[in-house]
Structure 1
Amino acid sequence: MTKVTAQMSVSLDGCYTGPRDPQHPHDMSGWMQGPEAPGFFRVTRWAVDAMAWRERQGFAGGARSADSEIVAETFAAAGAYVMGRRMFDAGEVPWGDEPPFRAPVFVVTHRARAVLERRGGTSFTFVTEGLERAVELARAAAGGKDVAVAGGGELLQQVLAAGLLDQLELHIAPVLLGDGQRLFGPGLGLGADDGVELVPARVVDTPGVTHIRYTVSGRSKLVLDDRGASGDLVGRP
């Protein structure tokens, strides 16, 4: 059955990039020179060093490793992608004429644009009817494989908040950025008494990153655990 999946590289304090430039929050033309890029490249260093990632980008080199196997597995599982417009704007030029997706990509946007066909099987369809419609189209195009949320972080938050995500894999880099765009926070739309429950399904620890895969169980109410007040507990002070 087709699953909606997502994977994201984050720092130990939960940042997936450095802080956004407050003067130009939506301008992607100078992204490489802005404050977001250093944090992003630190948390994704593990992938850039992996042979499977480099091959997919058309680069030579890279290491054969457990990290590389996870990259290859992630690409192989995806039959279609959903992406935010800011992510597309940042990647359109660097990806070139043969982007790494090799599958249909559905871009959630408020700005209409004709379908963009690229070599290698990648196409970008710009969906102005909302996130749910983009996921619906991606499911239909995935051919029974997974629908992968390709970023950015804000879109992933929206997918989680809408209850559309089935599986989440975090690649946790051993670094504290201190400041940056955090994957989990107010964007999830959670109240004081509810949360999103995750069930760990796999942990792969490598020298440069820890990969943790979760099954997303969905929202649940948080309840006060007052068992510590019970006289039946052993060791009660």
Structure 2
Amino acid sequence: MKLIIAAIVLAVSCLAGINAGPAPAHGFASLPAPFQAQVFTVVEDMIHLGEETAKALVHQYEEIVVEPHQQLEEAIDNIEARRAESPQCVASQDDEINAILDTVHEEMHDCTVVAAHTSAEIATDVNQATQQLVFGGLSLGRTYNKCQNYKNSVLKQSCMAKFYIQATVYLVQARSSIKTIKQSTNERIPAVFVEGNVCTHNAADEAVNGLNEVNRSIDVCVAKKLRH
């Protein structure tokens, strides 16, 4: 379980790691002012989206895992608290308790593996998109610098024509990519939560019901001992 969570955190950390530092900032600053502002906006939007996606995935995954485990632990504690009251009666149910716990742990593991896998896919998709937009912006900066280094006015003019085409295509595709990823994450992240949450909570509910039956069996056993 810890390895699964670590995998998500590692994938998510890439999102924060791509944040525009000195190198990207320097590359974007070389662009003409109108394009520089637009590229900065695109990259900042994508970085913000990446950070929000990361936070949402980690928070939801914690809810999927932590809450049902707490519910299960409370039911187990209730039974264990009775062991001092009647060790024999509780011990007679140990096999049933272990069987219930083995089943629920396996089911909850399967639920969280699916949630972790899907969460990692979402984080990877957003991370890749972020990198593409950042490095696409840097590529624009390199193209512009190359054009400015031409001494021949004809070559410089031809290069700048290509630059403006490249910049226009980049900005159109970038904004389209951001819109697509926002729509995708807005649907995929809640879907991960709903599916994973239902899965783990159903498993926990079944286990708690089974442990409640065990508790009732212990009540019967204790009552019999009191009569004798």
- Structure with the largest fraction of helix: 2
Pair in the same fold by TM > 0.5:
no
User: Could you state the TM-score of these two structures normalised by the residue count of structure 1?
Assistant: 0.20
Higher gyration radius (CA): 2
